[in-house]
Amino acid sequence: MRYHLILFIIPALWLMGCVKKNPCNQQANPKITFNQGLKAGEELQLSVSGVDDISACYWYGPNKFAANGQQVSIPNVTGDAAGVYTVDVATTEGCIYTVSSDSIVINNIEAPCSTQPNTITLDGLGKFSFYFVSYDKQYSFTGNASGADLTLTFRRVPVSGIYTVKYSPEFINDVGIRLVARNLLWGVRDYTKLIVNVVDGKLIATLCNVNVTASDGSYSFKSVLSFNMTADLK
């Protein structure tokens, strides 16, 4: 922990005529608290205490995080929210204290369904072999099986989290899903949720019991899709 005059860090206070009247309290003990046992997809809540007469707080942390306030939060966290967070605490007396949190861990998500790795359920489709390809700032995982291909395409390097998928295979929100089986293109319903965990350099993606539609012109064939894919993230 360090402290120093805020007049040299926040010029706005100088312009308002804020002059430090008393020495900074060397006994102040700022402390960051946060919710424990956090999983990807949940909300990270951060707060700071232990300093009297707080006038402003400035936070910064992983993934270019920045925020103001004594209490701040990050909704729907992903794996890149893990790490150490720091806050500068300014007081009405013109002092500033800086403290950092313990390293925050984002735990894996428990999928609501269970299937074997590299398998898919859609009218009996079987085991897939997945491989990873990176190109033009997109990251794709493609699986091949007899009579079927399944591709997941991310806009950035995948991290643990809950991703949203749109119906059109050409429109990528968080991630795109493209499934071709029995010479038909199958589309998932809007705002499908894909669960992703990244463990020891491997991506584990799970989709549970989602309605899909075959694009054979009539859109009359419907089925339920589930899959659990594992691929090296390299």
Widest CA span in the chain: 78
Average pLDDT, the chain: 81
Q: What pLDDT is recorded for position 3? A: 45
Check residue 67 and give its pLDDT: 96
Q: How confident is the model at residue 198 (pLDDT cuts 50, 70, 90)?
A: confident
How far apart CA 28 and CA 25 sit, in angstroms, is 6
Q: Is the dihedral of CA 89, 92, 96, 99 positive or negative?
A: negative
Which of 16-20, 57-61, 215-219, 230-234 is least confident?
Answer: 16-20
Answer whether 154's CB lies under 8 Å from 175's CB: yes
Average pLDDT score over residue span 77-89: 93
Q: Is pLDDT larger for residue 132 or for residue 64?
A: 64
pLDDT on residue 188: 83
Instruction: Specify the higher pLDDT residue, 119 or 23.
Output: 119
Q: Looking at residue 228, what is its pLDDT?
A: 86
Which helix (H) or strand (E) segment is 154 a member of?
strand 148-154
Cβ neighbour number for residue 24 with a 10 Å cutoff: 17
List pLDDT tens digits, range 121-140: 887 777 888 888 877 667 88
Residue 154 in contact with residue 135, Cβ under 8 Å?
Answer: no
d(CA 205, CA 111): 9
CB 153 within 8 A of CB 131: no
Please give the model's pTM, rounded to 2 decimal places.
0.71
pLDDT tens column, 8-54: 344 343 323 334 456 787 778 899 999 999 998 899 999 999 999 99
Residue 6 has pLDDT above 70, yes or no: no
Which residues, other chains included, contact 33 with Cβ-Cβ below 8 Å and sequence gap of 6+? Answer: 46, 47, 48, 49
Identity at 164, one-letter amino acid code: T
Question: With 70 as the cut, is the pLDDT of residue 5 above it?
Answer: no
pLDDT at 221: 64
